[in-house]
A = this chain, B = another copy of it.
Amino acid sequence: MNKFTISSIGAVHNARKTPEDDYWGDVISEIKLNNEWSMSSLDGIESFSHLEILFLFHLVTNDIIQYSSRHPRNNEAYPKVGIFAQRGKNRPNKIGLTVVELIKREDNCLTVRGLDAIDGTPIIDIKPVMNEFLPKGEIIQPQWATDLMAIYWE
């Protein structure tokens, strides 16, 4: 297996101190970049309404990473599915990914809505959402995914 080293480019600051499954809709977060080059690296980001935030589930320890299929959230009402057929955090490489709404940028700090990551989470990349990178065609997903997400953003 090829190994690569990545570095955090910044961190999340918000009121969520512990991992929780649901109710992320109203969470406002600041993403503060931590490098001297951070200011110009954000130039022009204000002209996008939405960003993709890549982060690390830094509290996930290697012993809980999932390598075989299981019930999402350990809920037996959901079918057993593999880790790459769900978005759970106990995954190889521990990478999280969420689209957020950009509220404002000030210097090396972004204020965003809808980031489902706790205070202190390392950020590893930020990409602007472009219409041309959205899914093409109808999106189909299984019923368990719809059920699981019912109150996620409330």
Contact = CB atoms under 8 A, between A and B. Distances in A.
A82 to B, nearest CB: 4
Interface in A90-104: 91-95, 97-99, 101
B145 A41 contact: no
Contact of A2 (B8, B54, B131, B136): B8
B69 A43 contact: yes
Contact of A139 (B68, B129, B135): B129
Contacts of A146: 130-132
Contacts of A19: none
B5 A4 contact: yes
Nearest to A127: B87
A50 interface: yes
B49 A138 contact: yes
Interface of A: 1-9, 34-35, 37, 40-45, 47-50, 52, 54, 56, 66-69, 79-87, 91-95, 97-99, 101, 114, 122, 124-142, 145-146, 149, 152-153
* A-B pairs with lowest CB-CB distance, top 4: A44-B81, A49-B140, A132-B149, A37-B67
Given A1-B35, A7-B92, A44-B69, 15 more contacts: A1-B8, A1-B34, A2-B122, A4-B5, A37-B67, A42-B85, A43-B85, A44-B82, A45-B81, A45-B84, A49-B138, A49-B139, A99-B134, A129-B135, A131-B141
